[in-house]
Structure 1
Amino acid sequence: MTAAVLAALAPVTATALPPAGGGAPTSTVSTATDRAVPKTVLNPGQLERGAGPRVPRVLGTSIVDGSLEVPVDADEIDLLGPAGDDYVVVAYDASGGVVERVSPDGSTRVLRESNIGLNELSSDGSQLFDVVTRGRDRTVVRVLDTTTGEVTARRGFPGFVDVLDAADGVAVLGGTAPRRTISWDTATDETTRIVSRQGYRADLAADRLSTFSGDPYDGGCSRITPLSDPARTLWRSCDDIEVAASPGAGRLLTVPLLLDGPLSEVAVRGAAGRLLGGYGTRGTFGPLVWEDDRTALITVYGVRRTAVVRCTVAGPAEDRTCERATRLIPTPGL
């Protein structure tokens, strides 16, 4: 984390907090007219095969990392992220889900026997955050060591909270009832209110925070700010939300704020929201991540076949192409 971010997350008095609605926007507001920009339609079966993904992805019930493919014995898996040379996944079968640490040789170790909440992995893979809602007015967050499975910290929060990002023992949480974004030092158990808006995405390394100005189902808009200065708006949109920022935070992947049905379009934008391009599919999109500052990895569930697709979004027009980063598999459910 940068010094600016660390300073912003340090305990402060109430008078030092940034105002909930403070700061004038420093960029234009996107509108629905962005939809008129042509999209590249992705059909996995029509794309050439390229190199394997340089960040781990899921294909069916396997983890794909470069040329390595690790099958996991489960009906379905969600990848939380890497932990050293291993991977942390939520593995589901007919009896429910468990959180496992998976080694490259396919061996597994259970970290959490019963998965009934939300999970977030710290950026270095050392901490697993287990988020469980208790009734309507309380959320309990536990921190587990991903090597031993031992619970190293635990705290209850009023209302609903979710862990947005974590690094170096500090987590950023977004919550409702009341709406707020806070940081939590898991070693000292100190919490700090960052801003009085509900955070939905944070990136400690890139110093970025995405929040809602209000209930998105009742006119609330998305607002992207520096995490260290949440009163300064970088981009505001009432039509789209950010789902992934490139490592240098220079480009964004965004999707419609309110979806009615499967996700079938994704936009590529500059840091201030300028539309750079977009992708569509006749099927549906799965997880969206950045491989580096120039390439995005998009899981495409095609009408018949599925693959992780790599798209280059920067450079000369002739270089902005897409290819498959994995083999093809039948689309689940067919």
Structure 2
Amino acid sequence: MDVPAARRTGTLLLGLAAATAAAVLPWLPAAADVPHIDPAALPRGDSPAVVRLVRDTVRDGDLRVPATTRGDHDALWVVAGGYLLRDVNVGPRHLTRVVHVSRTGERRLVARSPGLLTVAVSGSGRRVAVQRPLGSSGLRSVITVSAARTGRVVGHRELRLANLVAVTDHRVLIGLRARWHHPATVWWNYERGTLHRVYHQAAVGADVRHDRVVFDRTPVGEFCNRVAPLSRPGRTLWHSCRVYPRQWSPDGRHALATHTYFDAAGTDRWWVIDGRTAVRQARITGRLDWHAVWEDDGHFLTLTQSDAGRAAVIRCDLTGTCERASRLWDVPVPEDPSVFYAAPPVVLASP
């Protein structure tokens, strides 16, 4: 689930009113109790089993594939025929690009924009959806769906106040008017060119495989969300104004969650929660990356940095016990406390 797909910066809201219905999540600890995990002090385990980008090289098992070098990489996906990379050139033009790289290194530009490019990949890896802003207002955008292997465009639609949430091999899930009046979630069948209304709240995240959708609850609070079965969107599994489920495990039994919004380049904690009830089962804390991925049903990977500036990929299990899964890099801790975290030169592939 890419909600959104890039590493994003936000503000931890203090004093939010707690949600009051069933399955409310009131268990956010105070910030003062955060022990920062130190990757240099962890035992060394196996290297990650997921595809990853290390500097400018994609590592896929024993395969090494040169990646793009014109910008800073912030996202990676495994797709049919190879890999999808998003990079950002922070120069005067500030261009964001999405590039397909084959397993033998051939490159094909998928999209380019001076604004944020939101990306979703179908579970099969066959379809890629990219949302590109139109104009400077940010109100209108266009979503293009293409075949990952060939680049052939199979769907194209311009929308207003839209949020690309997920794509399958036949449809795109879109949240409309998120954080505005008259929100809605729709399925866009790009093969038929039709829109089908799902629910009267705007989706901001989904795991289609596990029948989960995350809705924005703007009338309740500025960053409140509600989790429901995608097949029964009116049924609430849980809701929260403080934490957000970022990704469900491959078997759907657990999910990774972090703050809904946090004023830093990274986050200060990840929780393992029950995938159906959101009951908390484990927690890791420290200078952590916004991005974390499941390696298998019992382990997840993320990036972390110690207070001394030693950074690495770490692997943690369902109890919160962690080990180091990469070499160590010296990455200076940002002087600006609001930045909080600086990543090692690694990008883990998104599902």
TM-score of the superposition, structure 2-length normalised? 0.76
- Deviation, structure 1 residue 269: 0.9
Asked if structure 2 preserves the Cα contact closer than 8 Å seen for 1:169 and 1:187, the reply is yes
Compare 169-178 and 201-210 and name the one that shifted more: 169-178
- Deviation, structure 1 residue 295: 0.8
Question: Which position in structure 2 is the counterpart of 1:323?
Answer: 323
Which whole-Å CA distance do the structure 2 matches of 1:259 and 1:72 have between them? 30
- Deviation, structure 1 residue 71: 4.2
Task: Output the amino acid matched with 1:62.
Answer: T
Which whole-Å CA distance do the structure 1 matches of 2:290 and 2:249 have between them? 17
SS at 2:40 equivalent: helix
Answering whether residue 270 of structure 2 is matched by residue 266 of structure 1, we say: yes
Question: Which position in structure 1 is the counterpart of 2:192?
Answer: 188
Question: Which position in structure 1 is the counterpart of 2:201?
Answer: 197
- Deviation, structure 1 residue 128: 2.0
Match of 2:297 among 269, 293, 301: 293
Output aligned runs, 1:251-262, within 5 Å: 251-262=254-265
Question: Which position in structure 2 is the counterpart of 1:20?
Answer: none
Which whole-Å CA distance do the structure 2 matches of 1:328 and 1:269 have between them? 28
Asked if structure 2 preserves the Cα contact closer than 8 Å seen for 1:79 and 1:87, the reply is no
Output aligned runs, 1:52-71, within 5 Å: 52-71=47-66
Cα deviation code 1:179-228 (max 9, x no counterpart): 22211111111111111112111111110001122167x45522111000
Could you say if the C-alpha distance between residues 83 and 219 of structure 1 is closer, same or farther in structure 2, counting changes exceeding 3 Å?
closer
- Deviation, structure 1 residue 56: 1.9
Which whole-Å CA distance do the structure 1 matches of 2:97 and 2:263 have between them? 30
Task: Output the amino acid matched with 2:189.
Answer: D
- Deviation, structure 1 residue 34: 5.0
Question: Which position in structure 1 is the counterpart of 2:128?
Answer: 128
Output aligned runs, 1:33-72, within 5 Å: 33-34=28-29, 41-72=36-67
- Deviation, structure 1 residue 326: 2.7
Which whole-Å CA distance do the structure 2 matches of 1:258 and 1:78 have between them? 19
Which whole-Å CA distance do the structure 2 matches of 1:175 and 1:301 have between them? 37
Q: Which runs of 5+ in 2 are unaligned?
A: 1-19, 335-341, 343-351
Cα deviation code 1:272-294 (max 9, x no counterpart): 1111111111x332411112221
- Deviation, structure 1 residue 331: 2.8
Match of 2:238 among 217, 235, 238: 235
Q: How many residues are paired up?
A: 302
Question: Which position in structure 2 is the counterpart of 1:146?
Answer: 148
Could you say if the C-alpha distance between residues 80 and 92 of structure 1 is closer, same or farther in structure 2, counting changes exceeding 3 Å?
same
Question: Which position in structure 1 is the counterpart of 2:77?
Answer: 81
Question: Which position in structure 2 is the counterpart of 1:108?
Answer: 107
Cα deviation code 1:40-95 (max 9, x no counterpart): 74322222332232222334443333444544242311334111351110133445
TM-score of the superposition, structure 1-length normalised? 0.80
Question: Which position in structure 2 is the counterpart of 1:16?
Answer: none
Identity %: 26
Could you say if the C-alpha distance between residues 79 and 118 of structure 1 is closer, same or farther in structure 2, counting changes exceeding 3 Å?
same
Question: Which position in structure 2 is the counterpart of 1:224?
Answer: 227
Cα deviation code 1:84-130 (max 9, x no counterpart): 35111013344533221123344423223546432222222222212
Question: Which position in structure 1 is the counterpart of 2:349?
Answer: none
Which whole-Å CA distance do the structure 2 matches of 1:308 and 1:327 have between them? 8
Which whole-Å CA distance do the structure 2 matches of 1:109 and 1:136 have between them? 27
Could you say if the C-alpha distance between residues 215 and 325 of structure 1 is closer, same or farther in structure 2, counting changes exceeding 3 Å?
farther
SS at 2:296 equivalent: coil
Point out the structure with the larger helix share.
1
Which whole-Å CA distance do the structure 1 matches of 2:74 and 2:250 have between them? 22
Answering whether residue 172 of structure 2 is matched by residue 171 of structure 1, we say: yes
Aligned-pair Cα RMSD in Å: 2.8
- Deviation, structure 1 residue 148: 2.5
Which whole-Å CA distance do the structure 2 matches of 1:62 and 1:286 have between them? 21
SS at 2:49 equivalent: coil
Could you say if the C-alpha distance between residues 186 and 118 of structure 1 is closer, same or farther in structure 2, counting changes exceeding 3 Å?
same
Cα deviation code 1:203-256 (max 9, x no counterpart): 11110001122167x455221110000111111112211111112221121112
Asked if structure 2 preserves the Cα contact closer than 8 Å seen for 1:98 and 1:112, the reply is yes
Which whole-Å CA distance do the structure 2 matches of 1:268 and 1:192 have between them? 34
Match of 1:313 among 313, 318, 335: 318
Asked if structure 1 preserves the Cα contact closer than 8 Å seen for 2:121 and 2:168, the reply is no
Which whole-Å CA distance do the structure 2 matches of 1:146 and 1:29 have between them? 39
Q: Which runs of 5+ in 1 are unaligned?
A: 1-23, 315-319
SS at 1:142 equivalent: strand
Could you say if the C-alpha distance between residues 62 and 79 of structure 1 is closer, same or farther in structure 2, counting changes exceeding 3 Å?
farther
Which whole-Å CA distance do the structure 2 matches of 1:230 and 1:171 have between them? 16
